[in-house]
Chain A
Amino acid sequence: MSNYEIAKREDYSDVTFLLEVRHPMMARAARPGQFVVVMLSEHGERVPLTIADFDRERGTITLVIQAVGKTTRQMQQECRVGASLYSLVGPMGIPTPVSHARKVICVGGGLGVAPVYPQARALKENGACVIGVIGFRSKDLVFWEDRFRAICDELILCSDDGSVGLHGRVTAGIEEALKKHPDVDEVIAIGPPIMMKSCVETTRPHKIKTMVSLNPIMVDGTGMCGGCRVKVGNEVRFACVDGPDFDGHLVDFDDLMVRLRRHGKEERRALERWEKGCRMQQSINAAVAASR
């Protein structure tokens, strides 16, 4: 039943990689801001991933993945072109409404660079002036700079270690952009929770509307389990069906970060067990090769 074939793969660094998965119907339905839930195998877990791009002509959707845990590491190893995913469902979540903002800063941190791209492109197509601020830890992790250059009126590239672009975090990039463009109507920030939190704190004194995209722990992605509940203002909302985009100035990021650590112990255990299995497989392979 798995017919979600991987049509293309690109590796950006030893942890970040891109997959294009064939699903013509989803490519047609997907809108910026939505996500999918992927299962690698029948024994796998359900992993929510933001749709980084979609190609309606070729019938593919693009996912950018960072190999950090057991499942994503396994995906990095097993998702070759021609292979298939066991399950792919979506697009999920409320699409980002097409904003009528005239001047927007699109901020992407690390892996968040990917999901902010379709939003930046949609805004550009809508006639807005788009200022891109993308940040990475260092030069060798940079990806999609070219894609952003093609759609942004201005691009600020930041790196934590100063190996490329502006030396500093994306918040420094936002400050710089705001200095030059005090008339920005909206900021869209996507990335790790700590990065989104600092972006929100950067824009709060300027009273600029800041939208963030949340990616908490989920099971079904259809509003059924409540695992992805987040505190927004005084309300409890489910990121999967009420989001994933929320007004960043209302989001309780500390609560989100605590909840993301919910299964830390089990995640470590799964990863260690998997790595042990990989090492065993490698030594078997080496032994087989040596005996030939």
Chain B
Amino acid sequence: MREQDPVARARNFEEVACGYHPEDALRESERCLLCPDQPCVSGCPVGIDIPGFIRKVNEKDPRGAYDILTATSLLPAICGRVCPQENQCEGRCTVGQTLEPVAIGRLERFVGDTAIREGWANVPYIEPAGFKVGIVGSGPAGMACAADMAKAGCEVTVYEAFHQAGGVLKYGIPDFRLPNPVIDAELANLEKLGVRFECNTLVGRLFTLEQMITEMGFDAVFIGTGAGYPTMLGIPGDSLNGVLSANELLTRCNLMRGRDFPDFDTPQPIGRRVAVVGAGNTAMDAMRVSLRLGAEKVYCIYRRSRQEAPARAEEIHHAGEEGVEFHWLTHPVAILDDGSGGVRGLRCVRMELGEPDDTGRRRPMPVAGSEFDFECDLVVYAIGTNANPIMGQTSGLRLNRRGYIDTDENLATSLAGVFAGGDIVTGAATVIQAMGAGRRAAAGMKAYLGIRDGSRPYHSGGSLFGISAAERNFVRIRA
């Protein structure tokens, strides 16, 4: 796939990967073996019929491909860009055992982008079910759940605390990775399904979860508020003025358009030398945003090695191309004060990898006496988040000991009719996992509301109303 030149793009916010031309997509689709055991599908968190849509691309029928994609995935233009395909579909691709795997993500994006350009939207015939569903949070989990519930005929309202819908897709993921028009197009598709978005609404504080059910007439509620509360390292110098969370940097730059200060009012001064702590996707975004805001040097500080870095392979590759300097096996122990409340540098210690820990990754251990200082004037923490406390503070929901919402296997919470999914249940994860959770919660919600789900067998057990399956043919049950 064509990409912008690394030197030029490191200073602009245009999308890095330019996307496939129809000929490129056709050529790539030829590589798919359409193998019968479909390992790619089992690698997809939402189970997209991958060979099916690739076959349609190959038949030069992007509309057909779009129909197949949207039967399971709601937001192909987004997933094609932000899914960690190398650990999912592409990681299991049969072609990938000997050659480069089929670029499933890029093909998905090609179909999604074509649909946006052509203005396609699959609005199915929806029969009103007469239920009102409230969704808290307009990020990927909320969007996925909203789409499924709207298709099931429910009247869906999505509440968002920010002034724009989209959640982490808007405030977190920068434009050069996921352009805003793509998100807006997918949101507009949801509105076509009848979903209503209410921004500037902080659920829990403006009205509580209990009020939604008792006063506002919601039959079911889904909570997809995301994890939210950024973690600090807790080392000396944490509260200095040049230290901030990646969430803050990204929100200021992306949602609040700090990059266009002073035309937009939100400032985001950037340092000359920026050290980003962490090596996940958020860290990569923070580094690449820092470069685009004008930092001269950007360092990635990570306590494990490149193999353990949780970011998508493509993001690490892109960041490296753009000039990010990686310091693997390095961990900060203190942030050095410049005497006036700002940052002068970072004191780090070298690490080495020990025995595997409970995540299966080798545990990093500090090397004694290996402390060293290096110069920087901005430190960005991208080391994960804790649970956002607002829903817990304002409702009777049962939380687990880490503060996340406790759910059963259908994602039902301790309150009847209230479901939850995404980062607020699992802790920080990926966009596609959140979408998968939103869809699972929607399935649970439909079962709770008694909406028949066409994708599930209606009679699951051996008996119904005490009548065994064997006798069923002889008995007529009046509905």
Chain A residues within 8 Å of B, Cβ to Cβ: 1, 25-26, 29, 34, 39, 43-46, 70-71, 86-94, 219-227, 229, 231, 236, 238, 241-242, 255, 258-259, 261-263, 265-267, 269-270, 273
Given A88-B200, A226-B245, also A29-B206 (CB < 8 A): yes
> Across the interface, do A241 and B389 meet the contact criterion of CB distance under 8 Å?
yes
A44, A241, A255 interface centre (most CB from chain B within 10 Å): A241
> Across the interface, do B241 and A262 meet the contact criterion of CB distance under 8 Å?
yes
Residues of A within 8 A of B200 (CB): 87-89
Minimum Cβ distance to chain A for residue B271 (Å): 13
Interface 1/0 per residue, B377-394 and A, CB below 8 Å: 000000000001110010
> Across the interface, do B228 and A227 meet the contact criterion of CB distance under 8 Å?
no
Given A43-B265, A46-B256, A90-B206, also A227-B163 (CB < 8 A): no
> Across the interface, do A236 and B206 meet the contact criterion of CB distance under 8 Å?
no
- Among B146-154, B247-255, B283-291, the one that faces the other chain is B247-255
Any A CB within 8 A of the CB of B52: no
Closest to B206 in A: A29
Any A CB within 8 A of the CB of B399: no
Tell me if A's interface is mostly helix, strand, loop or mixed: mixed
Residues of B within 8 A of A231 (CB): 239
> Across the interface, do B265 and A90 meet the contact criterion of CB distance under 8 Å?
no
> Across the interface, do B262 and A222 meet the contact criterion of CB distance under 8 Å?
no
Any A CB within 8 A of the CB of B95: no
Any A CB within 8 A of the CB of B129: no
Partner of A222, one of B202, B232, B248, B267: B202
Any A CB within 8 A of the CB of B229: yes
Residues of B within 8 A of A25 (CB): 206-207
Closest to B386 in A: A223
A200 to B245, CA, bound (A): 30
> Across the interface, do A236 and B238 meet the contact criterion of CB distance under 8 Å?
yes
16 CB < 8 A contacts A-B: A45-B267, A46-B266, A88-B200, A90-B205, A219-B248, A219-B252, A220-B251, A223-B229, A224-B230, A225-B248, A225-B252, A226-B245, A231-B239, A241-B389, A259-B241, A270-B261
Any A CB within 8 A of the CB of B244: yes
Minimum Cβ distance to chain A for residue B205 (Å): 5
Residues of A within 8 A of B234 (CB): 236
Chain B residues within 8 Å of A, Cβ to Cβ: 161-163, 171, 199-202, 205-207, 226, 228-230, 232, 234, 238-239, 241, 244-245, 247-248, 251-252, 256-257, 261-267, 269, 341, 388-390, 393
> Across the interface, do B266 and A45 meet the contact criterion of CB distance under 8 Å?
yes
A259 to B245, CA, bound (A): 14
Shortest 10 CB-CB contacts between residues of A and residues of B: A266-B267, A225-B248, A45-B265, A258-B341, A87-B163, A226-B245, A226-B230, A45-B266, A89-B200, A262-B241
A226 to B395, CA, bound (A): 23
Partner of B161, one of A222, A229, A242, A267: A222
Partner of A224, one of B206, B229, B267, B341: B229
Minimum Cβ distance to chain B for residue A243 (Å): 12
Residues of B within 8 A of A1 (CB): 199
Closest to A70 in B: B265
Given A29-B206, A224-B251, also A270-B265 (CB < 8 A): yes
Residues of A within 8 A of B239 (CB): 229, 231, 236, 255, 259
> Across the interface, do B261 and A266 meet the contact criterion of CB distance under 8 Å?
yes
Closest to A231 in B: B239
Closest to A41 in B: B265
A256 to B238, CA, bound (A): 13
> Across the interface, do A71 and B248 meet the contact criterion of CB distance under 8 Å?
no
Closest to B385 in A: A224
Partner of B230, one of A46, A90, A225: A225
Minimum Cβ distance to chain A for residue B423 (Å): 11
Closest to A254 in B: B341
Minimum Cβ distance to chain B for residue A193 (Å): 14
> Across the interface, do B163 and A223 meet the contact criterion of CB distance under 8 Å?
no
Residues of A within 8 A of B264 (CB): 43-45
> Across the interface, do B206 and A226 meet the contact criterion of CB distance under 8 Å?
no
B202, B251, B257, B393 interface centre (most CB from chain A within 10 Å): B202
> Across the interface, do A226 and B251 meet the contact criterion of CB distance under 8 Å?
no
> Across the interface, do A263 and B267 meet the contact criterion of CB distance under 8 Å?
yes
Residues of A within 8 A of B393 (CB): 94, 241
Residues of B within 8 A of A267 (CB): 267
> Across the interface, do B341 and A89 meet the contact criterion of CB distance under 8 Å?
no
A119 to B425, CA, bound (A): 36
> Across the interface, do B232 and A229 meet the contact criterion of CB distance under 8 Å?
yes
Residues of B within 8 A of A86 (CB): 163
Closest to B389 in A: A241
Closest to B267 in A: A266
Closest to A240 in B: B390
> Across the interface, do A89 and B265 meet the contact criterion of CB distance under 8 Å?
no
Residues of A within 8 A of B230 (CB): 224-226
Minimum Cβ distance to chain B for residue A68 (Å): 14
Residues of B within 8 A of A259 (CB): 239, 241, 341
Given A90-B206, A236-B238, also A223-B267 (CB < 8 A): no
A261 to B341, CA, bound (A): 9
> Across the interface, do A220 and B161 meet the contact criterion of CB distance under 8 Å?
yes
B163, B234, B247, B393 interface centre (most CB from chain A within 10 Å): B163
A280 to B288, CA, bound (A): 38
A190 to B193, CA, bound (A): 48
> Across the interface, do B263 and A91 meet the contact criterion of CB distance under 8 Å?
no
Residues of A within 8 A of B171 (CB): 220, 224
Residues of A within 8 A of B229 (CB): 223-224, 226, 238, 241
Residues of B within 8 A of A223 (CB): 228-229, 388-390
Partner of A226, one of B244, B261, B389: B244
Closest to B388 in A: A223
Partner of B390, one of A71, A89, A222: A222
Residues of A within 8 A of B161 (CB): 89, 220, 222
A241 to B387, CA, bound (A): 12
Closest to A274 in B: B262
Closest to B234 in A: A236
A92 to B269, CA, bound (A): 27
B228, B230, B266, B269 interface centre (most CB from chain A within 10 Å): B266
